Structures are given as structure tokens and as C-alpha cells.
Chains A and B, each alone.
Chain A
Amino acid sequence: MKDRFNLYRFASPATFYPLAGRLIPWFTALAVIFGLAGLWVGMLIAPTDFQQGEGYRIIFIHVPASWMSMFIYLVMAFWAAIGLAFNTRLSGMMAQALAPTGALMAFISLWTGALWGKPMWGAWWVWDARLTSELILLFLYIGYMALTAAIDDVRRADKAGGLMLLVGVVNVPIIYFSVKWWNTLHQGSSINLTKSSMATTMLWGMLLMAFCFWMYSIAVALVRARSIMLERERHTDWAKALLTGAEK
């Protein structure tokens, strides 16, 4: 029993901190490789779109960023639920580490959407369901960061923030299904499981870029998680040993 592989061991910051440090270069490398491949396929090989001309190429960052903005929120809400249910130390740190990256993904989604909307619809911004719910997602990220930063006691900050994340999770299906539920200017989803409305190279470009954004988010969130962990655990033996030792 003693030698059995124990997943719970990684829930301890003392084990997670060095593990995260070793994983960061790998996720960074994967992000760069997927990014270069995605840009190569999407920007150099993929043909033009018969309706939108070359302007459609914004899709190669717009869709991955939008997916990540929703996915990161779901992951944060997952950590919030774990934290509230089991009172685990690591969950609050993970949620906080992800928040700025999620907010930036939501911003990229809105920014590239505006630059795509202008030539295609003639407007940088319209108050339609898809755009408005994505803007609310950005506000949820900013609200979560402001709320947790405003409460000095980290355990209480995690609880309050976690509750906010769980309430806000209702917004994610609204974003995702908004193009089906309401009449909107925004085009429907470009891919689904059964059939795809895109050429194969376009699809590959988008998927490669999505992997790039995914690996990037993991890498940068792990860097931030390490900082949060070290700061919060600075009085513990493992943190002191690490700080007094030669390790970086």
C-alpha cells in the first residue's frame, strides 16, 4: 500500500511546486511548436474564403481565444467547486493563477471580433447576444480578480471568489448557444462533431492554433500558480528550505 502511486500527493504545494517548474518548459515548447505549425497552415497554406476573402483569417486566433476564454472559466469554476466542497489549499491558488489568462483570452476574443466585425458587418461592436455575453465573461474575470484582491484573508478571498465563479458559470452555456437561441449577426459555429463547414486546411489551422493557445495558457498559469503558492506558503518548511537552498 505504501508504494502505491498516490495522485493526492500532487495536491500538496510542496510536491506541486517543483513539478510545475519542470513542466513549464515543456508546455512552452508545445505552445511554440503548435503555434508555428498553426500559423504556417492557417496563414500560408489555407485557401481564401469565398465569402469573406482574406479577412476570414482572423478566425485562426479569434476562435481559439474564444474557446479558451470559456474553457478557462469552466476550469476555474471546477477548482472553485472542489475548493468549496473539500476545502483544499491548492484549488484557490489554481483558480487565481488562471484568472488573468482567462481575462486576456476574453479580451483577445473581443478585440479580434471587433476587427473582424468592422469589415464584414460594418460595425466594430453590436449589442447582440454573442458579443454581449462574451463581454460579461470579461467582466466576470475582472470582477473575480478585483474581489479576491480586495479580501486580505486568502482563505476567505478564495471562498468569496469561488462562490462568484460558480454563480457566473451560467454565462458560459449562454455564450456557447447564443448563436442558436437568438437571432444574431454573429455567424454560427464553424465546426461540429458530425460535419464541418470549413476546408480541411482551414480546420487544421484552427485546431493547431487552439492547441497552441491551450498549451500557452497552461504554461503561463503554472508560472503564476508557482508565485501564488510560494507567497502563501512562505512560512512553511518546504518554502523556507527552497528559499534558503540554491534552487531558483
Chain B
Amino acid sequence: MIYWKSFSDFLAMGGYGFYVWGSFGVTALIMLIEPILASRNQKTLIARLKRQLRAEARADQRNTAV
């Protein structure tokens, strides 16, 4: 069923290894990094907005106390 005779055969890609793995490697890297960056961005955003909200609430309290 599987087309390749051996693992090294698979890696060599009939002499096109550099081009094939160069394509798949960079694509895999992009498709791993992009979602990680996007979700990290979301987490830092939530943390920042929460901080801002707390700061605003404190400022409001101070104003009403005065």
C-alpha cells in the first residue's frame, strides 16, 4: 500500500528532497507559529483589558471618596 521502499527513500524524495522538505518545512512552521501567536495575543489582550478595567474602577472609587 505504502509507496516507499524505505524511510531513507522517503526522505530522499527521488532527489527532490531539498525542494519538497523545504516547502513542507516552512509551511509547517508557519502553520504552527501563526495560531500560537494569535492565541498568545488574545491572552495578553485579555490581561491588559482586565488591568485597565481594574484601574478605572479604582479611579472611580477615589473620585467618589473625595
Q: Is B66 an interface residue (CB 8 A)?
A: no
Given known A111-B26, A220-B34, contact A55–B14 (CB-CB < 8 A): yes
- Known A45-B1, A116-B23, A244-B53; judge A55-B16 contact (CB<8 A): yes
Q: Which residue of B lies closest to A107 (CB)?
A: B30
Label chain B's interface by main secondary structure: helix
Using A55-B19, A111-B26, A115-B19 as known contacts, say yes or no to A223 and B45 having CB atoms under 8 A apart.
Answer: no
Give the CA-CA distance A111 to B1 in the complex, in Å: 31
Contact of B14 among A53, A100, A101, A230 (CB under 8 A): A53
Interface bracket on A? 35 or more
**Bound-state Cα–Cα, A118 to B39, Å:** 36
Query: Closest CB-CB distance, A163 to chain B, in whole Å?
Result: 26
Cα–Cα, bound, A240→B45 (Å)? 13
Residues of A within 8 A of B (CB): 28, 43-48, 53-55, 57-58, 61-62, 65, 100-101, 104, 107-108, 111-112, 115-116, 118-119, 216, 219-220, 223-224, 226-227, 230-231, 234, 239-240, 243-244, 248
